[in-house]
Structure 1
Amino acid sequence: MKRLELAFYEQPTLDLARALLGQYLVRRHPEGDIIAKIVETEAYLGAIDRAAHSFGGRRTKRTEVMFGKPGHVYTYQMHTHTLLNVVSGPVGTPEAVLIRAVEPIQGHEWIASNRPGVKRYDQTNGPGKLTKALGITMDLYGHSFQQDPLYIAEGEAGVVIEAGPRIGIPNTGEARDYPYRFFERDNPYVSKFR
């Protein structure tokens, strides 16, 4: 699989959030690789976005990686879940794209062992679910998508994209209604909007 070039991550954040749809998220394991198609993303526009962890230029140990080069991993904990983000925006502009859902392509047996007893479409249809399924942990904070064990490879072209409001950010004023969530139309792995 052809790894995406660094230049891919240098496009504006909203464009990147769309462009990631259809690409393959690859998690390398000694026992076998897990490959999953990205089917849902959410963009966060840093200092100007009330829903972003870096709103107002907030620079903390947690957000530090977002101030660096695009194409790196920003992981954070929410409750008991690790969430995976792609750092975007120019250096010093703390923006990121949350990977919200993926469709398993290869490594179904490893996904099932990481998510025992969970129905197929519920294994990876949410940001905390997909990280459990692929074995993505906080250890990958700051990791470059140009290196193993986690990278993004060229995927499918021609994905039909829809947009809607982001999910799970109720206390962010008008930012909760921004149509910055992008997803593949009619894909059963897209997370459920409640």
Structure 2
Amino acid sequence: MMTTMAAFFSARSTGNITRELLGKLLRYESPQGLVSGYIVEAEAYLGVADSAAHVYKGRRTKANDALYGAPGNVYIYTSRGYYAFDVATQAQGEPQGILIRGVEPKDGLDIMQANRPKTGSELTNGPGKLMQAFGVTDLRWNNVMITDSPFKIDLQDQRVPAQILTSARIGVSKRGGQTNSPYRYYVAGNPYVSGMRKREMNLATHGWLAQ
């Protein structure tokens, strides 16, 4: 399993990995039970040359050290009082990563709604929202390989996006040349994409191809 996961998160560009991550199932064996959701939105962060990345210009601290780990290492951090979930990509020492921004719930909806009393897309349509819904309230699993954690990305259980769109990343520091680069990838029409306008939502298929 570790070899398969490491191979998924390496050997090609982080942008391509981010695109391929859409539709994969993010699972978390929480203390309350299994919760999961299909990934509908994610952002690529391209390391020391990326002006919006936590490791810009080689910055390395206790807080961001997980990004320097092996491909598939979990990077959990706090932002605006919420927790966010990243996975490191590329070879160890090359601190690139992917922020999971939104999921469409599959398992454990009752658990997620107990953790975050919202309905519809407001439950998990943002990085802090989905971690709150999953019940992640600390940094316990930060800097741990995903294969050694209660998190899993199921490479078999997946949906296929009908269309993938890109945009500038959301909420990043306004600095340098990468601020507005199109490193945010999302499933077109899926209501669980953060900031998706109602007129852009495809409520019939949620943007997936028929299975």
Fold equivalence (TM over 0.5): yes
Residue 35 (structure 1) aligns with: 36
Deviations 1:125-162 (A, max 9, x none): 00000000012231110122113411110232531211
Q: Does 1:178 align with 2:181?
A: yes
Higher relative contact order, structure no. (Cα contacts within 8 Å, ≥ 6 residues apart): 1
Is the Cα contact below 8 Å between 1:162 and 1:184 reproduced in 2?
Answer: yes
Unaligned runs of 5+ in 1: none
Residue 92 (structure 1) aligns with: 93
Q: In structure 1, the residue corresponding to 2:33 is in which secondary structure?
A: coil
Residue 141 (structure 1) aligns with: 142
Which of 162, 165, 169 lines up with 2:168 in the alignment?
165
Percentage of matched positions with identical amino acids: 37
Name the stretch that deviates more: 102-111 or 21-30: 21-30
Is the Cα contact below 8 Å between 1:4 and 1:152 reproduced in 2?
Answer: no
Residue 128 (structure 2) aligns with: 128
TM-score in terms of structure 2 length: 0.85
Following superposition, the deviation at residue 170 of structure 1 comes to 4.5
Q: In structure 2, the residue corresponding to 1:140 is in which secondary structure?
A: coil
Structure 1 24/51 Cα, relative in aligned 2: closer, same or farther at 3 Å?
same
Following superposition, the deviation at residue 96 of structure 1 comes to 0.8
Following superposition, the deviation at residue 33 of structure 1 comes to 0.7
Q: In 2, distance between residues paired with 1:62 and 1:14?
A: 23
Q: In 1, distance between residues paired with 2:87 and 2:32?
A: 25
TM-score in terms of structure 1 length: 0.92
Residue 50 (structure 2) aligns with: 49
Count of aligned positions: 191
Residue 156 (structure 1) aligns with: 158
AA aligned to 1:124 is T
Q: Does 1:190 align with 2:199?
A: no
